[in-house]
Chains A and B, each alone.
Chain A
């Protein structure tokens, strides 16, 4: 009986440790999460911690950072700090929704492609076709066709991301299919839908989560790039890309208008990538075992 209790202890210890201690143990994940949480808090609390980002005040235009305007003002006298806080909303919404939607789409298509070979031939050719379209060009074309909005920007970024995730998931599924436990499940009478959901899917998710963080980071950058080019979110919505685009005219006079949103952009992408790297190390079964 004592042997039984000893044997059961590690499992119990793991259950109680949970997510939080897991995050604290890994400094990369911890730092990435911390930065993202602060940014997310700012974005959510924007109406309480920032002034109206759209209020023109010609008296205050092109002010340097000061106690009143922490990050200075632009050529219309708008408070850059407030605009950056509201801009965090756009960046985070774009990053998260692109990562989430393209992961779900990519996972579904990738699973089916890897599992049903007849489906694979058709779908992968379509995916190759989508991959051949330059993503910025596709976004510009979409924005010119329809009224620019945040939703259109998100869709424009998702379309070229999906085939990359499909390729990743498909290749993972192809290798899982060859695992003996899949034969074992088939021999035990497991039918295709359950095989897919209980045996293939759980083993394919780990690499996808890591990829999703990189998709999130690249989506944030792409959104900023599109906004800078004027093909992104409409100029009346403050996004980091828009702030930089509008500030570039007075770059030599008021460099902070460009530099500060640039720093936030870099910091956010860095945080997301740190989270991704940390998760990759953590979710790799070979690395995760050494605890």
Chain B
């Protein structure tokens, strides 16, 4: 824990205005991210997990400043980048790069692979001509692609190879932080493992900090050191990987884990089936966002906004039925 913090996000909020009517008046807001805080240290992978629509990708895109945050604070290294404009943000982009979800649409179809990977080097004026070409060739080699493939175009690569290209591009300017938005969810399972292992190798070698966004718990378990579970724009639980999988403290995490398949038919699992759908992020429920579906909800959950509190050392949960320091393994179901 002595590693320096490379990315610190405090109370990040991103609302998308909902406009309607002739004058396009704002009639509401989709609260995609509604107060998210975390710290990411050098050499660490923080996984962000949650179902679709929970705001995990919005966190990534806002941290990248591809979206403007509505409120909160983003500190990259030592610089506060929260309200930097396009121009002012530019020099900081060297320190934070992104790997995208869809390896098919995230590479310009009309640029050669070498040009795509070399573009960030060119943008920041780090190398020119044959020197740049050598750097790009070295990057290709580093991510397991043949340097001869530099002249090829994206459609000539397989999905896994394209994601390697995306990783090479992200590495091109030696960033300290990489935001990976579902980098393997579009790939076959066998290829997923290769790409994940490549990312783990690169992290050990270059001491990269990953903000790793995924909905896949198996992937999370493989790559993350700590995991943040998101539900309707908020982090409901944040804990080291082992603690989270062994003893989830938030009822939502518990339900999420129980839904993940275990590759052993002999293990009998107690599945927690959540009732109903995820409420709309434009009209989130009062109090705890999860109370409408929580099997343990009590009357107080409807009114009281749970704060993310450290229940055990390093293990945070946003549930009023958990008390700091408690050791009780499971919550008692609510009496109805």
Which residues on A are within 8 Å of B, measured CB to CB?
A: 4, 7-8, 10-11, 179-181, 183-192, 194, 198-199, 202-203, 285, 289
Contact = CB atoms under 8 A, between A and B. Distances in A.
A239 B98 CA distance: 59
B151 A11 contact: yes
B98 A181 contact: no
A118 to B, nearest CB: 14
B196 to A, nearest CB: 20
Contact of A189 (B66, B102, B173): B173
B328 interface: no
Contact of A199 (B61, B108, B120): B108
Nearest to B107: A181
B107 A189 contact: no
Interface string B163-186: 000100100110000000000000
Interface of B: 61, 64, 66, 86, 90, 93-94, 97-98, 100-102, 105-111, 119-120, 123-124, 146, 148-149, 151-152, 155-156, 166, 169, 172-173
Nearest to A194: B123
A149 B109 CA distance: 44
15 contacts: A8-B148, A11-B152, A180-B106, A181-B106, A181-B107, A183-B98, A187-B64, A188-B97, A190-B120, A191-B90, A199-B108, A199-B111, A202-B111, A203-B108, A289-B155
A203 B153 CA distance: 14
A7 B152 CA distance: 10
B235 to A, nearest CB: 24
Given A4-B146, A181-B105, A181-B106, A189 B123 contact: yes
Name A's interface SS: helix
A179 B98 CA distance: 15
B93 A185 contact: no
A129 to B, nearest CB: 22
Given A188-B120, A191-B90, A11 B106 contact: no
A191 B110 contact: no
Contact of B105 (A8, A10, A179, A187): A179
Contact of B102 (A7, A180, A185, A202): A180
Most A CB contacts (10 A, CB to CB) among B64, B108, B169 go to B108
A135 B149 CA distance: 51
Contacts of B123: 188-191, 194
